[in-house]
Amino acid sequence: MFAVIKTGGKQYSVAEDQTIELGKLVAKPGEIVTFPVMVLGGDKPSFGTPLVSGALVAAEVVRHTRGATIIAFKKRRRQNSRRRRGHRQDFTVVRITEILTGGKQPSKEAKARPIKPKALKPEGEAKPATEAKTEAKAKEPKTKAKTKAMKAPKGKSKKK
């Protein structure tokens, strides 16, 4: 199921466990925020006029961040007039936790994300080339590098 939400004057199409970057929200990391739903999609799509009644999208605030620097450079030719101004937009990264219908309220705490188990490698399996090289280097005894003999600096000859 997906939903279309509206926040900060923009509309976003979201699904559960999706991470999106929104305009700055007044919420601390770890808090749950809710958004009104404009469109619900899936098996039984429903369109709001302007919002779908009883539908909410709950999201957990992951972190606050800033975008890349945008440079506004203005130059008036032949007048020795130049202005350079930078700007960085503030963003909030949120993870969609649940899409609720039927007037349900979001859970007070964020759901724990499922931890994906790492695939175990059989011991007899060949290792990647980079790992084999690092192991080979570790087994080799370290030898001193040969350096050129340093010559003494030549002094200035004294004339008598």
pLDDT tens, the chain, 160 aa long: 899 999 999 999 999 999 999 999 999 999 999 999 999 888 888 888 888 888 999 999 999 999 999 999 999 999 999 999 999 999 999 999 999 888 888 887 766 666 677 777 666 666 566 666 666 666 666 655 555 666 666 766 666 5
Q: What is the pLDDT of residue 66?
A: 96
Q: What is the pLDDT of residue 19?
A: 95
DSSP per-residue codes, the chain: -EEEEEETTEEEEEETT-EEEEE--S--TT-EEEEEEEEEESSS-EE-SSS-TT-EEEEEEEEEEE---EEEEEEETTTTEEEEEEE--EEEEEEEEEEE-TTPPPPSSPPPPPPPPPPPPPTTSPPPHHHHHHHHHHHSPP-PPP-PPPPPPPPPPPP-
Q: What is the pLDDT of residue 71?
A: 96
Q: What is the pLDDT of residue 49?
A: 87
Q: What is the pLDDT of residue 127?
A: 59
Of 2, 6, 39, 41, whose CA–CA distance to 22 is shortest? 6
Of 20, 18, 6, whose CA–CA distance to 91 is shortest? 20
Q: What is the pLDDT of residue 88?
A: 96
Could you tell me if 2 and 13 are in contact, meaning their C-beta atoms sit under 8 angstroms apart?
A: yes
Q: What is the pLDDT of residue 104?
A: 84
Of 89, 90, 97, 91, whose CA–CA distance to 30 is shortest? 97
pTM, full prediction: 0.62
Q: What is the pLDDT of residue 48?
A: 85
